């Protein structure tokens, strides 16, 4: 245990007090971890669109004040009672799709929607006692997705941490918590492009680049990147994108352009923007499988799973 174990830690956090209003950097108190919990010193955190979605509080129940953040990397500062697979000093990634390891879903080969740690976006407290580990002057601050990484220290359930190699650079691997694993995993595990196949990737942000990397790993021979920002094209080449289409450079729907390029359509399309028009294009340019990643996430958000 560290010399701060069992003590409340004062630290800086970015606190959201109201929907759509600027976050406020201020001192918060972070309570020690309770049973099956871990307190983590966050070294690096990134920003995901899901954070923005809940900060805007459009389409879901507002819950403020709150500390957002779920893409991060850090080092364990202390552990609570019952935690046996993690220890002080371990390098970890917080993950919002936690796994208890014991329920039927965790043991299933087809699902990881853990019965215990299934995400409820309206829950701003810890499961063990229904209380927050964050406070300001004794007033509780709500958690977010069980992670709340926009804080120098955070407390999460031990099942919501992935231990990583201490040699891995934390400033690089923090995006593995969500964006990279989303695009890469969706392409490899759901779209499953075959070797030599063609894949269209709509949107070349973090999720789209990860999807392209998944297509490259799977052996796709043609990976077509579609984006309205031409400055993203050079970077996308590093992730396996072989061809580029900028919809703004054509006077007809981009799905027609792609169909003409690929003799009627690609084998797989992966939509990574959440834009309705892009979703339509993704459906209409493909022969076999079209995967709409943001739509899947948005459905989970609405039903309280993500």
For the cut 70, the answer to whether the pLDDT of residue 293 exceeds it is no
Q: Is the separation of the CB atoms in 9 and 30 below 8 Å?
A: yes
The answer to the question of residue 175 being in a domain is no
Q: Is residue 270 part of a domain?
A: yes
Give the burial class of 166: count Cβ atoms within 10 A of its Cβ; 0-12 exposed, 13-18 middle, 19 or more buried.
exposed
Tell me the average pLDDT of the chain. Answer: 89
CA distance 29 to 66: 13
CA 226 to chain centre: 22
Average pLDDT in the 211-232 region? 96
Can you give the pLDDT at residue 289? Answer: 60
Q: How far apart are CA 63 and CA 119, in angstroms?
A: 15
pLDDT-derived band at 304, boundaries 50, 70, 90: very low
Q: Per-residue pLDDT for 168 more than 90? A: yes
- Tell me what the mean pLDDT of segment 232-252 comes to: 95
Higher local confidence (pLDDT), 121 or 217: 217
Q: How far apart are CA 227 and CA 234, in angstroms?
A: 12
Check which CATH number belongs to the domain holding 120 and give it. Answer: 3.90.180.10
Look at residue 61 and tell me if it is in a domain: yes
User: What is the predicted pLDDT for the residue at 215?
Assistant: 96
Coil, helix or strand for 95? coil
Same domain, 111 and 186: no
Closest CA to 257 of 273, 268, 267, 246: 246
- Model confidence at 12, pLDDT cuts 50, 70, 90, reads very high
Say yes or no: 109 and 206 in one domain: no
Would you state the pLDDT for residue 274? 79
Which residue range(s) make up the domain with 91?
9-170
Note whether residue 240 is domain-resident. yes
User: How many domains does one find in the chain?
Assistant: 2
With respect to residue 2, please indicate whether it lies within any of the assigned structural domains.
no
* 196, part of any domain: yes
User: What is the pLDDT, as a whole number, of residue 67?
Assistant: 97
Instruction: Provide the CATH number for the domain around residue 269.
Output: 3.40.50.720
- Can you spell out the DSSP letters for 142-167? B-STTT--SBSEEEEEGGGEEEE-TT
Helix or strand run (H / E) with residue 213: helix 206-218
């Amino acid at each position: 245990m560290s010399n701060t174990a069992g003590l409340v830690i004062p630290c800086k956090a970015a606190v959201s007090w109201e929907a759509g209003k600027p976050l406020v950097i201020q001192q918060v108190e972070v309570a020690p971890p309770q049973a099956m919990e871990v307190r983590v010193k966050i070294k690096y955190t990134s920003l995901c669109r899901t954070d923005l979605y809940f900060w805007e509080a459009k389409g879901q129940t507002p819950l403020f004040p709150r500390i957002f953040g779920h893409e991060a990397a850090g080092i364990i500062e202390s552990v609570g009672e019952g935690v046996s697979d993690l220890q002080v000093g371990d390098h970890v990634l917080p993950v919002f799709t936690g796994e208890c390891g014991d329920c039927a879903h965790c043991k299933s080969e087809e699902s990881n929607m853990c019965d215990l740690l299934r995400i409820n976006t309206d829950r701003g407290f810890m499961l063990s006692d229904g209380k927050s580990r964050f406070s300001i002057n004794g007033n509780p601050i709500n958690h977010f997705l069980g992670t709340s990484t926009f804080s120098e220290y955070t407390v999460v359930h031990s099942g919501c941490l992935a231990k990583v190699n201490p040699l891995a650079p934390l400033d690089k691997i923090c995006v593995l918590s969500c964006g990279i694993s989303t695009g890469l995993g969706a392409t490899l595990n759901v779209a499953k492009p075959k070797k030599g196949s063609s894949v269209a990737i709509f949107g070349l942000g973090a999720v789209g680049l990860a999807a392209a990397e998944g297509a490259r790993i799977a052996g796709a021979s043609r990976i077509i990147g579609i984006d309205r920002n031409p400055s993203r094209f050079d970077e996308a080449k590093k992730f396996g994108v072989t061809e580029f289409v900028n919809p703004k450079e054509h006077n007809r729907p981009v799905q027609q352009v792609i169909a003409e390029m690929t003799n009627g359509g690609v084998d797989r399309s992966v939509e990574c923007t959440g834009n309705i028009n892009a979703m339509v294009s993704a459906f209409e340019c493909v022969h076999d499988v079209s995967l709409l990643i943001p739509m899947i996430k948005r459905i989970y958000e609405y039903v309280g799973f993500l």
